[in-house]
Structure 1
Amino acid sequence: MMGETRKRPKVLRWFVLWIVFSALAAVSALVVSPILLTAKLAEAGEVVIDPTTRFAADSGDYFGLETDDGTFSCTVRPDSGEERELPVSEGHGRHRMRETTFTAWFSGSATVTCERRAELILPSVYQWDRAIGVAPGVLLGLGGASLLFGFFRLWQRSRRAGA
């Protein structure tokens, strides 16, 4: 038995792979979250409507209006489609800015005119939020699945060793 090399147990390989995968999932989630936070804090996708501005959207896209200046309405006039008046109101308490989300009923460009100062949140912000907002959940879900798989493999090996 002197010339034989001892094989490493498979459970050790699975355990190492499990730790590496879990660490990658956690690091990825930690990297993606600040990107999302930075994008939200930069507010790159908000335009002040003073008193009129133009933007483009496709039918079904989300866009938002927000204000801290009371309750009033904004008129959206698409180049092709029906004109609509949309209600805008401020929030209450410490955070007075309140965002109201709408779904575009038109495709193409539109002009927004508001009675008072408001901000337009462009459709690109909502598309970015949808795309990037899913990533941390997926990564954390994969990490959780990896954790369960690792425990299952350890349980399976311990049962075999005990039998």
Structure 2
Amino acid sequence: MKTILWATLTANGNYAQSGPDNPPTKEALHDFAAQAKAAGNFIAGRRTFEGLRGGGGPGPFGEVDIVVISRNAAEFPGAKVVRSPQEALDYLRQKGHQTALVSGGADIHNSFLEQGLADEVIFNVAPVLEGKGLNLVIDKDNYAFKHVELLDCKPLGGGVVQLRYAVGR
């Protein structure tokens, strides 16, 4: 199964943290919805899932399989709750998916990277600088490198640039 991590980064390389003062760009959100529809699914952590769902209801994701990785949440209507990245991938594979889209947050992305479960990363670089932020890491305990191959680079509009890389497993 091809696993794609999808994230928005700030122009200075931090994992973009959305909030009332810094909402996600509409261009990145539109791209995420299109990527989720193409994959037929997405994987997210509890907080990211709650942010995407907002006031409840399926929103733009009524037709896709949603998997929430959470150690504490018992159940979310409209989503399968699992405890680990591997369990999420196993579930989607059993459902017949060929591609898994991982939307985050940073802890979820880092788990996939640390466990070597990512085949591609899509970074949407937003036109904002962030003072204190989170980073995506491949090994939180060691200074490590993992070379990637640029597959595509394109502007999404609104100053957002999308970079797509292949990650060797």
Q: TM-score range by the shorter chain?
A: under 0.3
What is the TM-score with the length of structure 1 in the denominator? 0.22
Higher helix content, 1 or 2: 1
Q: Larger Rg: 1 or 2?
A: 1
Task: State TM-score, norm by structure 2.
Answer: 0.22
